[in-house]
């Protein structure tokens, strides 16, 4: 059975389809044979049209269109075949269902070229990498001298305690002093005494037989010396 005749229009439709599709399109098994038959037909017309200018002109135009469409179609399919070859070499699942039997040799040759190119330019697989030694670098962190908060707190506590003790002692001393100054004793003078300054910073002149109120400290001193006789305490 003779293959179905292919026209320039059929070839143009197939080329446009190939340009639109991202993957390789399906073409009949007799496709390339049909193209050769179409080319032979146009050649015959050209050979028999040497005396007919118009017919010759049309035939030449048809031949140029055929050559352009053939080249355009081949470029499109070659690019897609190259993509398939790269997928095969990379171990991907390349879909080769639409590869024509006339294109199988081209596909395999491209695969071989890619593999050979990689062998000549890339690092060989038998290269052994040297194990990397990981060295830990301890980064020293400079810490500014800062007083220990705990120590500061302890110092503050100790200082507060010492201050409190001092205040208590001072208060006690002041209280005693005040007590000494504010508390008086009534005494009876047993003999004339020279003028003296009491603990309250006052001058006292005591005569025999006088009853006088003098600071407790002075009263006790004079009592111990037998100069006066203690009578009772007087709080001022």
Please identify which residue in the block is written with the tokens 């199988």. Answer: 104
Q: Give Cβ neighbours of residue 195 (< 8 Å, ≥ 6 apart).
A: 203, 204, 205
Q: Give Cβ neighbours of residue 111 (< 8 Å, ≥ 6 apart).
A: 85, 88, 89
Residue 152 has what pLDDT?
Answer: 45
Residue 11 has what pLDDT?
Answer: 96
Residue 180 has what pLDDT?
Answer: 45
| Residues 220-236 pLDDT 10s | 889 988 888 988 755 54
- Other C-beta atoms closer than 10 Å to the C-beta of 37 total 16
Q: Give Cβ neighbours of residue 49 (< 8 Å, ≥ 6 apart).
A: 55, 56, 59
Which domains does the chain possess?
Answer: 8-121 (1.20.58.1030), 178-236 (3.40.5.50)
CB distance 8 to 37 below 8 Å: no
Element spanning 57, H or E: helix 53-89
Residue 161 has what pLDDT?
Answer: 61
Structure tokens at 106: 């081209």
CB distance 34 to 5 below 8 Å: yes
Below-70 pLDDT ranges, the chain: 1-4, 123-125, 127, 134-182, 233-236
Residue 151 CA neighbour count, 13 Å, CB half? 3
């Amino acid at each position: 059975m003779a293959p179905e005749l292919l026209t320039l229009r059929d070839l143009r439709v197939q080329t446009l389809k190939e340009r639109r599709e991202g993957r390789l399109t399906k073409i009949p098994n007799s496709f390339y044979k049909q193209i050769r038959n179409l080319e032979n037909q146009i050649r015959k017309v050209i050979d028999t049209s040497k005396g007919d200018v118009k017919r010759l002109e049309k035939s030449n135009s048809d031949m140029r269109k055929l050559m352009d469409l053939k080249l355009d179609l081949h470029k499109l399919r070659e690019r897609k075949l190259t993509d398939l070859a790269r997928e095969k070499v990379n171990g991907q699942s390349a879909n080769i269902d639409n590869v024509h039997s006339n294109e199988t040799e081209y596909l395999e040759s491209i695969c071989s070229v890619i593999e050979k190119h990689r062998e000549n330019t890339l690092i060989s697989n038998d290269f052994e990498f040297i194990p990397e030694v990981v060295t830990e670098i301890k980064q020293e962190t400079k810490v500014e001298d800062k007083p220990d908060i705990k120590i500061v707190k302890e110092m503050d506590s100790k200082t507060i305690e010492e201050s409190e003790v001092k205040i208590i002692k001072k208060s006690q001393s002041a209280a005693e002093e005040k007590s000494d100054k504010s508390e008086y004793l009534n005494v009876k003078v047993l003999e004339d005494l020279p003028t003296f300054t009491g603990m309250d910073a006052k001058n006292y002149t005591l005569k025999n037989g006088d009853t006088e109120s003098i600071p407790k400290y002075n009263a006790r001193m004079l009592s111990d010396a037998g100069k006066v006789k203690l009578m009772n305490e007087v709080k001022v």
